[in-house]
A and B are shown apart, each in its own frame.
Chain A
Amino acid sequence: MKETFIIPTKARILALVLIAIGVLAIVIGFAKEGPGTWSVLLINNFYFLSLAMGAMFFVAIQYVTDSGWSAMFKRVPEAMTTFVPVAFIVMLIMAAGVRDIYEWAHRGITATDALIAHKAPYLNIPFFYARLALFFGLWILLIATLRRFSLREDAGEKGETESFLKSRKYSRVFIFVFALTFSVAAFDWIMSIDSHWFSTIFGLRAIISAFYSAVAVIILILLWLNRSGYFPEMNKYHRNDFARYLFRLSIVWGYLWFIQFLIIWYANLPESTFYFIPRVEEPWRLFFRAEFILNWAIPFAVLMSDDIGRKKPVLIIISILLLAGFYVTLFLQVMPGTGGTVKIGFVEIGSFAGFAGLFFLLFMYTLSKASLKPDNHPFLEESLHHHL
């Protein structure tokens, strides 16, 4: 039983309209607000890159844990990773604005700033782009490898496990590489905006945020596909497992958020508190509180009960709140450091919509390229009849 996803015309038009809005918003941004728009681009690009990488991490986790329940949904997170090469291109385009975003890249800053001069062997433009190319190279290579085995499995015969075992092997490699490179990528691209500040847990927080919001997107997409008639086998137990994913990740997220804050708050050293002081005061205070409430308090309280968490409307609302929460997190990490203001206007929303449209279009395109369910996956039957 081969079933393929056909891109609905409405969805294609919607995605194209969103992309048009995004292009318009970015053009208006550069025309009216100038170099500040680079930070908006950085937020959006890192946001959707996180979703793509988090989705790949989700697939890898399913492989290394031999999870059966999620086998039939595998193609959805797999298709979400198509955005990674696009993120690479956008990062390269952003080379034009690197001196506007990062303080360490300002001309002549090493002569006047001793701390940045000390960090210059690491934080300099050639090495920055060498690392960037290395990270994207590794990610694209591993994603393509896993995708190749996934498609080879479809072409093969039922009961053959060679591709599955290979996928599992490369999933382990991916998790290892992802943990190392994505944390350094978060240090480089986001944390180095505040060049004087450092937090070793920053990378881990980026990984968890990526995983967390990727699961939210997978849920939203699956519920949409389910409503359009795909995945008729999806039952309340699948939803239950997704709700549990969100619940557990909300605990991890809250834990990491709090220990980052607690240690800096307790030690009370000016060299690290200067990062939090503007963020807990006006005008950023609202964002600081919203981040914690959206990402931890609401999902934790609502998803505690399995019976509530598995309901479709609850999952949809929580997932959307989480996506908003992730945007607030990134906004709060980037904007105060690049001299941005508390403003979410047309440029911010429009460019976000543009990236979302592009992400969605690429996702649908890749999803329609292969059979919707991995037909020869050894755990497919278990997934189709998932039952607690």
Chain B
Amino acid sequence: MKQKEIIAVFDNDEDLVSAIRKLLENKIRIRDAYTPFPVHDVLRLLGRETRLPYFAVIAGAVNIIAALGFLYWVAVIDYPLNFGGKPAFTLPAFVVITYLLTILLTFLITSLLFQVRTGLYPGKEPEEVMEGSTDDKFILALGSNIDMNEKDRSMADSILRECGATDIIERERDNEKK
């Protein structure tokens, strides 16, 4: 059996959030939501809050140590120079470089992880769930006919209409795409 999915289109984020709330109350599975800008409630309700900041903090801590270690190696072990009679290992002189290196490395590592996790890379073909999903439409994709019985289907339909969906489409799911 071909997989089918229900796509509901909303005109604003409030309708979308209320629809998600009602669907979750009725235990209907939501596959994903697509919004032109981040809507915190959607992320919260669908359990999609990002864990990237935690990674960034850990990466930052590692990078501070790495940057300080690098500076120590340069200024003390490999090429000690006498600057104004100050000792080779002087923390205040290292702080600015450590600070900048930490920001740079943490940004690079974190954005790289972000791209890997979301499957983005330079030159990737644009992938749009529906026309308008990046402009002014708020889109909700529900589970397919396999994990939803007839009763749930009609209930989902009525909830979506009640919450102000401007368009409800049922279409075959393209399995090749992510």
A residues contacting B by CB (< 8 A) are 258, 261-262, 265-266, 268, 304, 388
Contact = CB atoms under 8 A, between A and B. Distances in A.
B40 A262 contact: no
Nearest to B95: A258
B20 to A, nearest CB: 15
Contacts of A261: 92
B87 to A, nearest CB: 13
Nearest to A388: B40
A262 B84 contact: no
B93 interface: yes
A32 B40 CA distance: 61
A262 B92 contact: yes
Nearest to A265: B92
Contact of B95 (A262, A268, A304): A262
B113 interface: no
A304 B57 contact: yes
Contacts of B93: 266
Interface of B: 40, 57, 84, 86, 92-93, 95-96
Contacts of B92: 261-262, 265-266
Given A268-B86, A304-B57, 9 more contacts: A258-B95, A261-B92, A262-B92, A262-B96, A265-B92, A266-B92, A266-B93, A268-B84, A388-B40
Contacts of A262: 92, 95-96
Nearest to A268: B84
12 contacts: A258-B95, A261-B92, A262-B92, A262-B95, A262-B96, A265-B92, A266-B92, A266-B93, A268-B84, A268-B86, A304-B57, A388-B40
A83 B86 CA distance: 47
- The secondary structure that dominates the B interface is helix
A266 B85 CA distance: 11
A388 B93 CA distance: 41
A304 B92 CA distance: 23
Contacts of B40: 388
B65 to A, nearest CB: 16
Nearest to A258: B95
Nearest to B60: A304
A304 B56 CA distance: 12
B103 to A, nearest CB: 12
B47 to A, nearest CB: 15
A197 B93 CA distance: 23
- CB-CB nearest 7 A-B residue pairs: A388-B40, A265-B92, A262-B92, A268-B84, A258-B95, A304-B57, A262-B96
A14 B86 CA distance: 54
B53 to A, nearest CB: 8
A303 to B, nearest CB: 13
Nearest to B54: A305
B25 to A, nearest CB: 20
B54 to A, nearest CB: 9
Nearest to B40: A388
A304 B61 CA distance: 13
A388 B42 CA distance: 11
B35 to A, nearest CB: 15
A258 B97 CA distance: 13
Contacts of A388: 40
B17 to A, nearest CB: 11
Contacts of B95: 258, 262
A382 B93 CA distance: 47
Nearest to A255: B99
Contacts of A258: 95
A265 B84 CA distance: 11
Contacts of A265: 92
A248 to B, nearest CB: 15
A300 B46 CA distance: 31
A244 B107 CA distance: 21
Contacts of B84: 268
B37 to A, nearest CB: 13
A255 to B, nearest CB: 9
A266 B90 CA distance: 11
Nearest to B90: A265
A264 to B, nearest CB: 10
A262 B84 CA distance: 14
Contacts of A266: 92-93
Contacts of B96: 262
A304 B93 CA distance: 25
A158 to B, nearest CB: 24
